Structure 1
Amino acid sequence: MTLGIIKQLKSATERYVRTTDHPVVAWLESEEDIRFESFDSVYEEHEDFPSVYEEIADRLVARAQSADNSGVILYAVPGHPMVAEATVQILRRRCPEEGIQLEVRGGESFLDQAFVRLGFDPIEGFALLDASDVGAVKLDPRMHTLIGQVYDTFTASDVKLGLMEMYPDDHEVVACHALGVEGQEQILRVPLHELDHVTGYGNLSLIYIPASRDEQLRNRSFERLHEIVAILRSPEGCPWDREQTHRSIRKNLIEETYEVLETIDDDDPDHMREELGDLLLQVMLHSQMEEETGLFTAYDVIQALNEKLIYRHPHVFGELNAEDAEAALSNWEAMKAEEKRSKGIEPEEQSALSGVPRDLPALMKAYKIQKKAAKAGFDWEDISGVWDKIEEELAELKASVGQGEDAEAQVLELGDVLFSVVNAARFIGVDPEEALSLTIRKFVRRFRHVEQRLKEAGKTPATSSLAEMDRYWDEAKELERQL
């Protein structure tokens, strides 16, 4: 503390301290005979720190407003009042609103000791984080990082889990207790996975992660991905990536999407992680192409998505309610309609079938179009009408083929049959795309069984009879039933 601060402490008519759990308080009382009224009891009255801080501020404001108060109320906090001190921020907001004059005087903060005792210069890049909010999004390995408010082992454990989102389990971190306090200071270097095994966490504890230029540490960050894609497209990057256009890699986006779907169908998380990465790469490449023209960046894509998600979920981020999934979907549709109006599009003037992507696979597109038509009231009263329609369309297809009509006519009749079958799927609540995919997988599984059994007999499908293959096919079905 400066001499001026000590003089203020001595001359104040009323003195309050947030907590007496600090070595300086004991020193002031014994060496300078400066007494405080503390708010330690408030910590016992509330279950969380924000409530404690609000209560302390309420009491100080009320005392300042009392009629018999004509002197100066001094409120002392550990370290610098503008560093990691929530009560001071609340007072800075409340006092002007209440007509109370507030003056903030600073002293030495724990940061000063951290810079000296840990030996780093903050100008190299420095971040101060709260232990309650540590995660990969806020971490940058290139910056010296201090994490304050590590009050206990449970908090240290939460910090460890947050750091593990970015750093490997054995990465060295530093647990610090009472920096600069003679006889109490501890600086412990431990692997990350042992961070919550350290004892002694309290009000004077913090965690330090030294800055590192190891680019491998940044491989979990979106910023690094954005940087890598930009390098690949740069003049010094990859010739193949540099030559690509939206149209040249259009098919890649479709292929990668289907590869993700395959991992979902196979319930294969390991490959799903890889394929989702390949799909994300396509998004990044298309975004990078537009960034090079100056139209938008990947961050603009993220911003637009975040804004859309917030806007379309008023039951989560706003004041509306949604008791179930149907109500949530209703809110989503209402917000979509409102978005269109804000763009000068009147949803009421659009076709009921609008909004179905042109290039969807035909089976999926038929399903979505039928759902939209049904929502507009164009639908069968019950599934019996669907069965009649399937039989009608199937009879027309048989007649077309039997009469030897041209290929175009037969194609149209086959399309009618498929379209009517999609209606049946919709009525029984089944996605036809998913149903057909399951059947295809089942067919492939059974056919491979047939091939394997033929191979065991020294044959191939080409050298065996249909009756023999049917026998193995039925065998595969029986095996599935037994499972």
Structure 2
Amino acid sequence: MGKIYILGLGPGDIDSLTLGVVKRINSGDRNFLRTENHPTVKYFKDNNIDYESYDYVYEREEEFIKVYKHIVNDLINKAKTYKVINYLVPGNPMVAEKTVELLLEKEGKGLDIELVTGVSFIEPMVELVKNDPINGLKIVDGTIFNVNDIDINIDYIITQVYNRRVASDIKLILSEVYGDEYEIYVINRAGIKEEEKLHKIPVYQLDRIDRIDSLTSIYIPKVDKIIKKIYDIADIIDTMKLLRSEKGCPWDKKQTHQSIRESVIEEAYEVVDAIDNEDIDGLIEELGDLLFQIIFHCEIASEEGRFNLYHITTELNKKLIYRHPHVFNEKKVEKSDEVVYNWNKLKYEERGILTYTDILKDTPKLPSLMRSYKVQERAGQVGFDWSSVDGALDKVKEEYYEVIESINAIEGGDVGKVEEELGDLLFAVVNVCRFLNVNPEIALNRTVNKFIDRFEIMEVKSRKMGKKLEEMTLEEMDILWNEAKLHKL
């Protein structure tokens, strides 16, 4: 069994080397450095201590993860060959060191590992920016940094900012959330006496500073609560809790799941309306309103001890993974139709749906046009469908005449029959929409909007004539309506 001592070289100053690390360096065992681009390497040179570095791997591999895996595999082989070796990394071995993380995963499998600590880069950084980490501090790897790593409500450090390319990638991500002018700190050579440099700059200057190298890190202060300009989900939850509290809003406090259930439908329709109008600003606002409804229901449920937002996000993610076996497992699909088929099949299995009637009954209680579309779609999956749109159109004609028939017989007092036949007619029209890949809900909404626009033109024209609509005859309004139809909307 081989053994690896993992030693922390500290932030850079030779005086920061611990006695334990110095003792191991001088033990006579072979020393392997992740990188010699570190000021403490001077200690090796001044004392004629042999070492080997893995800097050549960085030059050879294009991806950092490949670099780390190569180093780990080579260290394991070296440990088997020499029985005991030292592996030296900058800072503290347990802070932002991917190779150490990978090595620890191999421990016990023919490999013994012992950590000898060192001062990390965190202490000198928080001293430079003069911020106490007790209020929250997050540390992330700059080489794999993405928008999900951002937390605007705590300070965080981005380390491994090796070069200008990494800094540029980070800048683009930060700009998306904080904006170009948000002030951050760039710190070079933290913990190295007389070489430390602290730059307070706006985000857009991140990749323009003079020196960016392996000893560069970025410190992002949390967003100021007083002059806050951006908010995240945690802020919305806090706001909702306040609104529902004794110090909050009387209306929000008295709401229940039942009392606000219609708001979910309204907000969803307003989202669709913004999409149809290609109104990006409106879409941002309406998606926010829809999200607020989810947070509202979560807060009500949380107060009742039923569930919280984590229950929702957990169930959602589990469902997404389960219903995408072609992504998360080995199942292969080639077409989007196959994806939909598999999604539905897994959904029905999950819900214990065994018959085709069960599938129809499982259609959610959507607005009637949408629900009829989905029911027809599901019935069509078993072949209960017209062979072409012609059959669907003939059915519309048939239902139309049955409506006329029921109206003519209304003297008998059967209003329910008229309602039934009108329902059949609407159902038949929806079937035509389905054959033509037209969403009936959207189509009808467009017609409603068109009607309103033409009515507005008609009303404007009537005013120009010096007349009010309510004073005009139907024949006069028809003339204005036909003129309105000539306008391009």
Same fold at TM > 0.5 = yes
> Which residue pairs with 2:189 in the alignment?
178
> Partners in 1 of 2:362 and 2:193 — Cα distance?
70
Matched residue count: 471
Scaled by the length of structure 1, the TM-score of the pair is 0.90
> Which residue pairs with 2:257 in the alignment?
246
> Which residue pairs with 1:90 in the alignment?
102
| 1:33/1:217 CA distance change after superposition, 3 Å | farther
**Cα pair 2:389 2:432 within 8 Å, conserved:** yes
CA shift for structure 1 position 134: 4.2
CA shift for structure 1 position 248: 1.8
> Which residue pairs with 1:376 in the alignment?
382
Query: Alignment partner for residue 138 of structure 2, among 120, 123, 127?
Result: 127
Q: Which moved more, 1:254-263 or 1:139-148?
A: 139-148
Amino acid of the structure 2 residue aligned with 1:365: R
**Cα pair 2:178 2:230 within 8 Å, conserved:** no
Alignment of 1:203-282 (within 5 A): 203-211=214-222, 214=225, 217=228, 219-282=230-293
Query: Alignment partner for residue 31 of structure 2, among 15, 34, 39?
Result: 15
> Partners in 2 of 1:4 and 1:353 — Cα distance?
71
- Which stretches in structure 2 are left out of the alignment for 5+ residues? 1-16
> Partners in 2 of 1:122 and 1:373 — Cα distance?
60
Amino acid of the structure 2 residue aligned with 1:65: K
> Partners in 2 of 1:459 and 1:134 — Cα distance?
66
> Which residue pairs with 2:3 in the alignment?
none
Identity %: 39
Cα displacement string for residues 246-293 of structure 1 (whole angstroms, at most 9, x for unaligned residues):
222222222222222221221111112112212222222122111111
Cα displacement string for residues 95-125 of structure 1 (whole angstroms, at most 9, x for unaligned residues):
422x122222122221232233333333332
Amino acid of the structure 1 residue aligned with 2:291: L
Q: SS at the partner of 2:331?
A: coil
> Which residue pairs with 2:10 in the alignment?
none
**Cα pair 1:166 1:217 within 8 Å, conserved:** no
Query: Alignment partner for residue 162 of structure 1, among 173, 186, 197?
Result: 173
| 1:413/1:21 CA distance change after superposition, 3 Å | same
Alignment of 1:414-453 (within 5 A): 414-453=422-461
| 1:143/1:256 CA distance change after superposition, 3 Å | closer
Q: SS at the partner of 1:351?
A: helix
| 1:182/1:431 CA distance change after superposition, 3 Å | same
Alignment of 1:406-421 (within 5 A): 406=413, 407-421=415-429
Q: Are 1:5 and 2:21 matched, yes or no?
A: yes
CA shift for structure 1 position 50: 0.3
Q: SS at the partner of 1:96?
A: coil
> Which residue pairs with 1:399 in the alignment?
405
- Which stretches in structure 1 are left out of the alignment for 5+ residues? none
**Cα pair 1:141 1:211 within 8 Å, conserved:** yes
List structure 1 runs of 4+ shifted beyond 6 angstroms. Answer: none
Q: SS at the partner of 1:103?
A: strand
> Partners in 2 of 1:9 and 1:132 — Cα distance?
29
> Partners in 1 of 2:333 and 2:481 — Cα distance?
49
| 1:267/1:212 CA distance change after superposition, 3 Å | closer
**Cα pair 2:20 2:116 within 8 Å, conserved:** no
Amino acid of the structure 2 residue aligned with 1:7: K
> Which residue pairs with 1:150 in the alignment?
161
**Cα pair 2:189 2:215 within 8 Å, conserved:** yes
Alignment of 1:286-305 (within 5 A): 286-305=297-316
Query: Alignment partner for residue 118 of structure 1, among 129, 134, 137?
Result: 129
Q: SS at the partner of 1:189?
A: strand
> Which residue pairs with 1:38 in the alignment?
53
Q: Which moved more, 1:395-404 or 1:169-178?
A: 395-404
Q: Are 1:316 and 2:304 matched, yes or no?
A: no
Amino acid of the structure 1 residue aligned with 2:392: V
Amino acid of the structure 2 residue aligned with 1:184: E
**Cα pair 2:152 2:232 within 8 Å, conserved:** no
> Partners in 1 of 2:107 and 2:147 — Cα distance?
36
Amino acid of the structure 1 residue aligned with 2:165: F
Q: Are 1:456 and 2:464 matched, yes or no?
A: yes
> Partners in 2 of 1:333 and 1:479 — Cα distance?
45
Scaled by the length of structure 2, the TM-score of the pair is 0.89
Cα displacement string for residues 54-74 of structure 1 (whole angstroms, at most 9, x for unaligned residues):
0111111122223xx35x322
> Partners in 2 of 1:311 and 1:218 — Cα distance?
38
Q: SS at the partner of 1:101?
A: strand
**Cα pair 2:64 2:143 within 8 Å, conserved:** no
**Cα pair 1:125 1:143 within 8 Å, conserved:** yes
Amino acid of the structure 2 residue aligned with 1:299: Y
Cα displacement string for residues 164-201 of structure 1 (whole angstroms, at most 9, x for unaligned residues):
45435333211111113244321111122322222211
Alignment of 1:181-200 (within 5 A): 181-200=192-211
